[in-house]
Chain A
Amino acid sequence: ERSNLAGVRHILLVLSGKGGVGKSTISTELALSLWHSGKKVGILDVDLCGPSIPRMFRVQDNDVHQCDSGWVPVFVDQDKSISLMSIGFLLEKPDDAVVWRGPKKNALIKQFVADVAWGDLDFLIVDTPPGTSDEHISTVEALRPYKPLGAILVTTPQAVSVGDVRRELTFCKKTGLRVLGIVENMSGFVCPHCSECTNIFSKGGGEELAKHAGVPFLGCVPLDPQLSQSLEEGRDFIQEFPKSSAFPALAHIAQQILDGTSQRSS
């Protein structure tokens, strides 16, 4: 019996020890960038308590259906080249809290990894909740046979975030997950009125961490209200705001991922 992940060429995880640094944002924008480069992309959202992905694609009201091989992911576009799976689609009401202890979360994650009929994908991006606990252990264990490409770690510049991401790096080392690189998100804010740049969440911590840990630094993404707005409304930021300050950084991250995969196959 062919596994549901057999048609997925590259699996990459988006991690951070820290909450609220932009894992789901980066997952979404990376998916959109890769899609605009002609790739078929899926996102698996294993944040069971705070599933952010459906709304970022404006499909939060969609349902999940079954097929012979398992669960059909939710398609975002007409061509079915962006697909999503999240617990968000399974909740009867969006405000319902999923108050589960570890074992029940683990059971659903195993199902998410094994039973979603992704079909052929170039990239499966796995968006995770913050931490180094049940979801992370279960996800990495379940994905291990499929040899993930690796993990992108997201941080914000300040020491309090970097402090948690250091621990996530240890998690990657201990579980044998390759670190593709670190992204420093919310790195500076350019005032739209006067262009003054303020480092609201400090600056440089992500880059320093990458250097200290000997992993690639994928870039700094600035704070951009247009990006926040796009995500709120589930719009395609990559298409709508190519002139925004965050666009070059996000495009560059996607390009590095693509370069990495073409190097691997050649």
Chain B
Amino acid sequence: LVLVLSLSLPVADCPGTSSAEAGRAAACQGCPNQKLCAAGAAAPDPAEAAELRERLRSVKHTILVLSGKGGVGKSTFSALLAHGLAADEAKQVALLDIDICGPSIPKMMGLEGEQVHQSGSGWSPVYVEENLGVMSVGFLLSSPDDAVIWRGPKKNGLIKQFLRDVDWGEIDYLIVDTPPGTSDEHLSIVQYLSATRIDGAVIITTPQEVSLQDVRKEINFCHKVKLPIIGVVENMSGFICPKCKNESQIFPPTTGGAEKMCQNLNVSLLGKVPLDPQIAKSCDKGQSFLSEAPESPATSSYRNIIQRIKEYCDQHHFHEEKII
């Protein structure tokens, strides 16, 4: 199979397997699935879309945690956001981990080894607290060595199941933790969640350019799919030596860090969080860093950021009655 690709890559992306353009857009040239899409084989099933809408009807706020870059602290942040929002016992919080290949959430929430149970109304989330439920592929794997070696379509199928078959109940906040990148998982979650309304995306980065260059792409992705951006969090922003109290920039902001990027791209900088060895320890132990290290400067940063996200959601309060 010899594909002719121009050496200056066309920017046009996959229009979406369910879009009207599927198989017909300029970007479809050379894609092995072009014929399939053009024939409408991948078109969304309207009954399926209705089913998703029904399931997600009782979700008040949805927040996606994204980053173009891996290892910047998406899962860490998602876990802490979940804990932070669930501190209000009157609120029901759901944390959905759609990183199919590298599901970190079970470990971070202290739920390693838990399995998913089925009931008449669907899959039960695994509860950390009464008001904090979690779902991840991690719960479907029987061994920590099990690898999920799946191509895109199969991953998409599981993500759909997570939204359709999990009995979340009434939720105030649905937090979706994602893998790094701008690919199947990201396109699919935005597509499936179009049945409900996504309040917005929180984008995580670290200060250095090697992260920012990926995060700018993620910001562009959000614009492309019309996903509002709540703001950016700069993680690993400096390290204070516990002995001499001097600060080191381990991941130097050589191009101005998240602050400059946010200015240039006109997005909000929600806050900067310094490195703290206790964060990694808490994640590994499955404990909330916010509770384990309440005096840490990182904790105050996280709490401020969570507060800003709460305020953003409150401003965009959404009625339960959705217009279909």
Enumerate chain A interface residues (CB-CB to B < 8 A): 17-21, 24, 49-50, 52, 55-56, 63-66, 71, 87, 90-108, 110-111, 129-134, 136-137, 156, 158-161, 163-164, 166-171, 174-175, 189, 191-194, 196, 198-202, 223, 225, 228-229, 231-233
Residues of A within 8 A of B104 (CB): 160, 163-164
Would you call B14 and A100 a contact (CB within 8 A)?
yes
Q: CB-defined interface of B122-149 with A at 8 Å, one 1/0 digit per residue?
A: 0000000000000000000000111111
Would you call B220 and A111 a contact (CB within 8 A)?
no
Chain B residue with minimal CB distance to A129? B181
Besides A200-B280, A228-B252, 13 new A-B residue pairs in contact (Cβ under 8 A), listed by A number: A17-B102, A19-B69, A21-B70, A21-B71, A66-B7, A95-B220, A98-B217, A102-B184, A108-B5, A133-B155, A156-B71, A192-B248, A198-B239
Would you call B151 and A134 a contact (CB within 8 A)?
yes
Residues of B within 8 A of A130 (CB): 70-71, 101-102, 179-180
Q: Which of A63, A111, A193, A231 makes the CB contact (< 8 A) with B246?
A: A193
Would you call B71 and A50 a contact (CB within 8 A)?
no
Residues of A within 8 A of B252 (CB): 225, 228-229, 232
How many pairs of A and B residues are in contact by the CB < 8 Å rule? 254
CB A36 to nearest CB in B, in angstroms, measures 22
Residues of B within 8 A of A192 (CB): 248
What's the dominant secondary structure at chain B's contact region? loop
Enumerate chain B interface residues (CB-CB to A < 8 A): 1, 3, 5, 7-9, 11, 13-14, 17, 27, 30-33, 68-72, 75, 100-102, 104, 107-108, 144-153, 155, 179-184, 186-187, 206, 208-210, 213-214, 216-221, 224, 239, 241-244, 246, 248-252, 254-255, 275, 277, 280-281, 283-284
A52 to B72, CA, bound (A): 14
A103 to B33, CA, bound (A): 7
Q: Which of B1, B147, B184, B249 makes the CB contact (< 8 A) with A171?
A: B147
CB B278 to nearest CB in A, in angstroms, measures 10
Q: Known interface pairs A97-B224, A166-B144, A228-B251. Does A198 touch B11 (Cβ–Cβ under 8 Å)?
A: no
